[in-house]
Amino acid sequence: MVVGQLYRQVRYQFRKAQLSTPELDARLLVGAGLGLALSDLLLKEDEQVTAADAARVMAFAEQRLEGMPVGRILGEREFYGRTFHLNEATLEPRPDTETLIEAVLERCDRTEASMMCDIGTGTGAIAVTLLSELPMSQMIAVDLSERALVCAQENARLHHVDARFWPVCADYVSALREGLDWVISNPPYIRTAALSTLSTEVVQHDPILALDGGEDGLKAYGEIVTGAKKLLRPGGWIALEIGFDQASDLKKQLHHHGFGAIEIIKDLSGNDRVVVARGT
């Protein structure tokens, strides 16, 4: 068997199973199984594949057909142009969250030093990305899961920002002190009753702790917004990823706690995705 034949075989299986992105999934898994960059799949499509390499690729394909996401199979996921390792305690960073990154960067002076905090850091994708883009800043990365923090620290080292990355194992803002310039979070915001309606890939492979936002999906926001008002310096910012139908509730919370300059930012699909506000 040659590389091109193996790719087409995997792609055919994925199409037959009606996966949402069969071509991309096949390219990623075949490339990883053969140790080839995606650009090399076409250039080397006539090269022979060893039996061991073919077996590895087919094992990856079988896992995908059983419902495991590509990122879980490979143990990593790309976010904002960087690769982030995953473990069982972390969500896969998703493209929608890049809207949160852009919202923060647009309001930062990259030559100034800011003290930031990422609540519920998971893989550290938000924290590490912002540190990579803001070389003068420091980040406190909070998570209730010690296993998630292990993963986040690994990613901070991978991207050479670990000297400015401070992991804290705590619940929301309970372990933090005043003096922050930014409070940032992509917290759990799925209503508990809606968890059962999520895709099998999410339910079986993402940690429920990072998804369950309580009865109304707003439990984490109440904790974070209340805490942020006390923790932020005058004029400090808060930036939160939100569900598509939560903008109105978050605006009310922020107004109640004295925040101003409240903005709702849409993602590339046109859904409300991020709320940004400034303290007084």
* Tens digit of each residue's pLDDT (9 = 90 or more) over 145-190: 999 999 999 999 999 999 999 999 998 888 899 999 999 999 988 8
pTM for this one? 0.91
State the pLDDT at residue 77: 94
State the pLDDT at residue 198: 76
State the pLDDT at residue 192: 81
Q: Region 209-230: what's the mean pLDDT?
A: 88
* Tens digit of each residue's pLDDT (9 = 90 or more) over 76-112: 999 999 999 999 999 999 999 999 999 999 999 989 9
- Tell me what the pLDDT averaged over the chain comes to: 94
The secondary structure element, H or E, covering residue 240 is strand 232-241
Query: Quick one: pLDDT band at residue 3, thresholds 50, 70, 90?
Result: very high
34 has pLDDT over 90: yes
Cα distances from 158 to residues 123, 153, 192, in angstroms, run: 12, 9, 34
State the pLDDT at residue 27: 96
23-28 long-range contacts (CB < 8 A, ≥24 apart) are: 25/64, 25/70, 26/61, 28/70, 28/74
200 has pLDDT over 90: no
**Residue 28's CB: how many other CB atoms inside 10 A?**
20
Query: Quick one: pLDDT band at residue 209, thresholds 50, 70, 90?
Result: confident
186-221 as b/e, with b when 16 or more CB fall inside 10 Å? bbbbbbbeeeeeeeebbeebbbeebbbbeeebbbbb
Percent of the chain with pLDDT over 90: 84
State the pLDDT at residue 216: 86
141 has pLDDT over 90: yes
2 has pLDDT over 90: yes
Asked if 184 and 115 count as a contact pair (C-beta separation under 8 A), the reply is no
Output DSSP code: residue 48: B
Query: Quick one: pLDDT band at residue 196, thresholds 50, 70, 90?
Result: confident
State the pLDDT at residue 94: 92
| Tokens read off for 140 | 């406190």
State the pLDDT at residue 62: 97
* Ramachandran assignment for 115, one of left (phi > 0), alpha (psi -120 to 50 degrees), beta (any other): beta
d(CA 141, CA 118): 5
226 has pLDDT over 80: yes
